[in-house]
A and B are shown apart, each in its own frame.
Chain A
Amino acid sequence: MTHPVSPARTRILAGLTIVAAIMFVVAVGMAVFYAPTDAQGMVQRIFYPHLGSFMGGALAFFVAAAAGVLYLITRADRWDTLALSAIEVGLVFTGFNIISGAIWARPIWNTWWTWDPRLTSAAVMWLAYAAYLMLRNSIEDPGRRARLAAVYGILAFSSVIFTTVITRVRPDTIHPVVVGPSPQNAQGSFGVSDPRMVATLMFNILTFIVLAITLIWHRIRLEDFSRYVAALKMRYLTR
């Protein structure tokens, strides 16, 4: 039974963690102090982490779907661990995305929540990945759990695609879009006209992606350690 992590990797991860923490502070600082406000006032600033966390979460879910495909091809446990870690991180990120959206919507749309196609599909996307965790919990056999979880992880990614495209195919959503023209009914734009706004937005997206990668890495290590501890336990208890 070898120790699951090497000192070199631990150093790289420690460095990455520090970089991610600094970036996060800078990103929040840029959103609050650097970017100018528009007609919406201060509340518009929540938009930068709002979109950033969605990007981080969507990336995590994409990684999980890719890891699911790789697991089904190679049957190596590490892809299963990667998929599980990515989905847990993605759930946190998209959870923040939904909550920050609600905080923004309260003054702009005059309601915390509305049954808009995009809001509905984002909530259902979150529930699909919560269901992924339930599926894992109800299968004991590790091989079968990894296989069926991989299948569901791939299937659930269709809800991410659906959430992303729904504002573009359906004009009756009130949720604004950033790239391309907003739907005609969109209320409260995410207009990024000022170059400082663009810079803040780009930096926030980058930060949340780095943050997602860092957290996924930590989660993988946690899983590796827990397997290592379980193996050690087995060894000493059966001796």
Chain B
Amino acid sequence: MLTFRGVRKSYGDVVAISALDLTVRPAETTALIGPSGCGKSTLLRLAAGLVLPDTGTVTFDGLALSPATIEAARHRMGYVIQEGGLFPHLTARANVTLLADHLRRPRAWIDDRVESLRDLVRLPADSLARFPTELSGGQRQRVALMRALMLDPDLLLLDEPLGALDPLIRADLQRELRAIFGSLGTTVLLVTHDLNEAARLADRILLMNEGVLVQDGTFADLRDRPTGSFARRFVSAWDAP
């Protein structure tokens, strides 16, 4: 689905990702976890083509991402960031349908799709006519998810999607997201700094530190058999719920 081959990315003198090889498996939820600055967000941005690797290639569904191929690839990806990244000048509904409108999808198809996504993310019907500033934080993230899912993407990229929410809403949404991912069977690549969240949502957890992949496995692998001193410290700093 998504593979990284010998990918290296630096910003000036700062190396964000060094020599990374990784395959994100289809229909799995993969969580990228690690301290801030470990390179997990850069990895997600490489996947979305927001930055290009210095060396190596990122391949999406057999196609190497490049300025020529990225736009078509993005139509098959959904992308959600911490604050949702909703456009404040558009209603929730217009945010959701922006790309479909641009691609001139049939009106009836759009209406059906919006309705079924609204059901899926359990957003109240009247919220769609509101502007982002008129929605709660949780509602904004639901709308952002609807926007990301609008064209039924093959890959969902989520950058700290619940990071700005208060703990109660966050826990609710984690449960719902898990159910949504399960029902859609979509490939998900998720960035979080919260091991609990990764444990709840992900089939596979990738622990990163200083631009390097430290451990690759399930939550149980990481909890019970951390490899190396960093992984041990990371796990021991986390209080089991």
User: Do A and B truly interact?
Assistant: no
Interface residues, chain B, CB within 8 Å of chain A? none
